[in-house]
Structure 1
């Protein structure tokens, strides 16, 4: 082996994740005894020596926060990060930005690397792997979850009222007289996607309608996923569609444009997440707006409170959405 062995070398040698190695070497309880023995044996075999600075992180005070977001290309997350950064600067902290790209393994690598640095707090938009966030909690770090609620963990969390926003968007389409209203939402494993689908269905039921599975699609919260979901829905002949995030809305609009399907004359569209160009396209796009900047500032405030008072009960802050009706969903 060339150079000093790293935590990743130990993980490969032991056949476990880097997060497990970190937990074992930092003395955290809850790791299987056989795994613990295997990790310690691999560390001894390779001659791994933990960074003494990392050993003392619980007692270290730094002015660095890490923000791990799920898609740096999404304007929603960049606006959230701006709110975190501005509030962090006001509180005397600097921000390190990481992009998990919706990949649990990539998120795990960031978590492991950041646990070896003097990061005093974390703001995370979690992927589906709760163990990554649990590793931060088990390491005694201050953690705030944003946008998505981690399963099985009681954490400070900042959300928006996804169900309310989806209900408003769908109720608007119903009020406009659309009969076959479709929904494109995100991966079923993510709380934001399931909540927005729940709001969509609730609005239909409130209007005396029965949700139809053939008019619902799960995609990947990306532009390509929105395009493919809209293409798949075309055979069901919807006359309106609620799309549960901004990038998928772009993809759905792209498909409609490619096929010469007129908005809103043939298919009305409402998106979730406002975007700067929503009023510039033709027709202007109806959207459910999230208070993205305020979401970031709220997360930063909660993180500072957690650092100052680690023992306080977790806080869940839920911010309101607002429907902006424009020409893409209005009956002419």
Structure 2
């Protein structure tokens, strides 16, 4: 069979073998790097035939032969948000240490995208699925059947039937709020984003808990989008209240950066007129102006735990919660003098 004839269908291993003048077993040895050694001249003929025919090995078939593709499918909502970017980087680092490789697919919170992304990863023969997203069709969490390892990330509570990993967001928000109380603030606002399915609004719980423990008034939180613009608009809402806050606990670094922009436009000095604490602790928080005091998610530890869950796929599903760390910078300022 000529190279032209194979254009009407996808070339097979047998096609490569015929063109190279070798057996299909030899083609497999070249493609898989073993188990038998192939003479350099023979290997070159096979590689030339692969190139000429544009042959692409089937990952699923290779997985059946080798028992593993060493590929892990990662589904994320988006990649521009620094929260996702830093989590992806930590997951890639953790996977590489264990000779695993990530295949990334973006869902964009669009049902058709979600279904296509999950199906594509399963068809590529990944050994496990990492959901750093929330899909609208709950059946997609079961993609790949009972033999597929899977783990849910950015979860703050157990998810029935699945292993999950997340930061202790209630304690993180409480830590940030308590820091502002210790600075002398008595009117502390909260701007957070809408929570997705399988996640409770534990940031609000931690914030409200600390205010109640200190005997401070509890105002209505502003719920916005998880974006800079969301933080900007949320801050404007707080500034228009009869008693605007002297400090704001922001539900993410991006929301906090939007708050800073709104405060600058209003002629406020940070932290003299308004103190700000953010949530997540991505690198962006260190390069805002002023640099943000933040409660940081332990991306590296959570990523390592997630990869290990996939490699220990036989274990019963469980939820792992990780403590957060308060990083104090200029945005929360010095202690406020008592009135």
| TM band (smaller chain) | 0.7 to 0.9
Residue deviations 1:215-236, cap 9 Å, x none? Answer: x111221112111111222212
- Give the structure 2 partner of residue 235 of structure 1: 240
Q: Which runs of 5+ in 1 are unaligned?
A: 5-51
Whether the 8 Å contact between 1:188 and 1:218 is mirrored in structure 2 is no
SS, match of residue 222 in structure 2 = strand
SS, match of residue 278 in structure 1 = helix
> 1:252 and 1:101 mapped to 2: Cα distance?
25
- Give the structure 1 partner of residue 272 of structure 2: 265
Q: What aligned pairs does 1:131-150 form with structure 2 within 5 A after superposition?
A: 131-136=138-143, 138=145, 140-148=147-155
Change in CA separation of 1:103 and 1:179 when aligned onto 2, cut-off 3 Å: farther
Q: Report the alpha carbon displacement of residue 86 of structure 1 after superposing the two structures with TM.
A: 2.1
For residue 219 of structure 2, the aligned residue among 193, 212, 221 is 212
SS, match of residue 206 in structure 2 = helix
Q: Report the alpha carbon displacement of residue 151 of structure 1 after superposing the two structures with TM.
A: 7.9
- Give the structure 1 partner of residue 320 of structure 2: 317
> 1:227 and 1:87 mapped to 2: Cα distance?
35
Name the TM-score, length of structure 1 as normaliser.
0.75
Q: What aligned pairs does 1:167-182 form with structure 2 within 5 A after superposition?
A: 167-182=174-189
SS, match of residue 251 in structure 1 = helix
> 1:58 and 1:201 mapped to 2: Cα distance?
53
- Give the structure 2 partner of residue 329 of structure 1: 332
Change in CA separation of 1:85 and 1:136 when aligned onto 2, cut-off 3 Å: same
- Give the structure 2 partner of residue 49 of structure 1: none
Whether the 8 Å contact between 2:156 and 2:200 is mirrored in structure 1 is no
SS, match of residue 143 in structure 2 = helix
Q: How many residues align?
A: 277
> 1:276 and 1:91 mapped to 2: Cα distance?
26
Q: Are 1:224 and 2:229 an aligned pair? A: yes
> 1:275 and 1:83 mapped to 2: Cα distance?
12
Q: Are 1:299 and 2:270 an aligned pair? A: no
Q: Are 1:78 and 2:68 an aligned pair? A: no
Change in CA separation of 1:287 and 1:82 when aligned onto 2, cut-off 3 Å: same
> 2:199 and 2:214 mapped to 1: Cα distance?
23
Residue deviations 1:160-189, cap 9 Å, x none? Answer: 110000001111111212122111111133
Name the TM-score, length of structure 2 as normaliser.
0.73
> 1:144 and 1:184 mapped to 2: Cα distance?
29
Change in CA separation of 1:191 and 1:96 when aligned onto 2, cut-off 3 Å: same
Q: Could you say which structure has the larger radius of gyration?
A: 2
Once superposed, what is the RMSD of the aligned Cα atoms? Answer: 2.8
SS, match of residue 271 in structure 1 = strand
- Give the structure 2 partner of residue 184 of structure 1: 191
Q: Report the alpha carbon displacement of residue 246 of structure 1 after superposing the two structures with TM.
A: 1.2
> 2:205 and 2:144 mapped to 1: Cα distance?
30
- Give the structure 2 partner of residue 195 of structure 1: 202
Whether the 8 Å contact between 2:158 and 2:164 is mirrored in structure 1 is no
> 2:167 and 2:235 mapped to 1: Cα distance?
25
- Give the structure 1 partner of residue 285 of structure 2: 278
Residue deviations 1:122-147, cap 9 Å, x none? Answer: 11123262615433264642111111
